[in-house]
């Protein structure tokens, strides 16, 4: 590393390394190389000191967003592996690989999400995930409700269908409105098989 390059960047300066196409913080020298660390922490790498330059505001922002996302990402960081002999898994992994090759991180993430969704739906047992079934919640009663389509008056939630029908009769007697929209809401629970 030349004296000029050594003094060009202070420790912590955000720089762009075209050799790795990454933005990092300048950490100092490591023999003839510049030592860089990813924004937000991580494994350091060596870069050619003659090639690195100060990062542009856009490069800094992009690297900062990537670092923030990696700290707050609620899903696993490892991309899902396709299940062998599954054409859908192979196709989705191919989409992900093509997106990665053209450096389209958004499309790569989309492909990973679709692959994970496919695997949870069709390969739950293979992946060691529990399979679930939907059953009515015995601890909660269904709720019935109706609203007049003419004036939008509503019965509110009722525990019995007969209560809703009684409200409809009374409303029709008062207003002459004959048409209603009825809804039923119940509760369900996902339980492991």
Q: What is the CATH number of the domain that holds 23?
A: 2.30.30
Question: Is residue 121 located within the same domain as residue 177?
Answer: no
Question: Is residue 8 located within the same domain as residue 68?
Answer: yes
Flag whether 42 is in a domain.
yes
Q: How many domains does the chain have?
A: 3
Residue 179 sits at the vertex; the CA angle it makes with 175 and 182, to the nearest 5 degrees, is 115
Q: What is the pLDDT of residues 79-129, one digit of tens each?
A: 888 888 889 999 999 999 999 999 888 889 889 889 988 887 787 766 665
Question: Is residue 66 located within the same domain as residue 24?
Answer: yes
- Final residue of a structural domain among 57, 72, 87: 72
Flag whether 137 is in a domain.
no
Q: Inform me whether the pLDDT recorded for 149 exceeds 60.
A: yes
Cα distances (Å, whole numbers) of residue 131 to 6, 81, 139, 187, 193: 58, 20, 22, 20, 6
Question: Is residue 8 located within the same domain as residue 58?
Answer: yes
Flag whether 172 is in a domain.
yes
Q: What is the pLDDT of residues 50-90, one digit of tens each?
A: 999 999 988 888 888 877 776 665 555 678 888 888 899 99
Is 0.75 topped by the overall pTM?
Answer: no
- Please tell me the least confidently modeled range out of 13-17, 102-106, 171-175: 102-106
Residue 170 sits at the vertex; the CA angle it makes with 168 and 171, to the nearest 5 degrees, is 65
Question: Is residue 8 located within the same domain as residue 67?
Answer: yes
109: containing domain: 77-129
Cα distances (Å, whole numbers) of residue 149 to 132, 173, 179, 180, 181: 39, 15, 6, 5, 6
Task: For residues 32 and 5, give the distance between their C-alpha atoms in angstroms, rounded to a whole number.
Answer: 11
Cβ(53)–Cβ(14) below 8 Å: no
Torsion angles phi and psi, residue 171, rounded to 5:
-65, -40
Flag whether 68 is in a domain.
yes
Q: Where are the alpha helices (DSSP H) in 78-127?
A: 87-101, 105-122
């Amino acid at each position: 590393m030349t004296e000029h390059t050594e003094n060009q960047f202070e420790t912590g300066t955000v720089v762009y390394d075209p050799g790795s196409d990454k933005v990092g913080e300048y950490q100092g020298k490591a023999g003839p190389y510049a030592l860089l660390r990813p924004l937000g922490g991580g494994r350091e790498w060596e870069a050619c000191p003659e090639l690195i330059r100060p990062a542009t505001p856009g490069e800094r922002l992009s690297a900062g967003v990537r670092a923030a996302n990696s700290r707050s990402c609620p899903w696993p960081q490892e991309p899902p592996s396709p299940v062998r002999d599954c054409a859908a898994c192979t196709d989705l992994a191919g989409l992900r690989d093509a997106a990665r090759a053209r450096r389209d991180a958004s499309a790569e993430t989309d492909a990973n999400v679709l692959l994970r969704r496919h695997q949870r739906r069709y390969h739950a047992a293979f992946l060691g995930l529990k399979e679930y079934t939907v059953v009515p919640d015995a601890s909660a009663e269904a709720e019935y409700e109706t609203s007049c389509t003419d004036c939008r008056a509503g019965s509110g939630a009722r525990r019995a269908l007969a209560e809703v029908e009684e409200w409809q009769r009374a409303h029709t007697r008062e207003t002459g409105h004959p048409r209603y929209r009825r809804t039923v809401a119940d509760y369900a629970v996902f339980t492991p098989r």
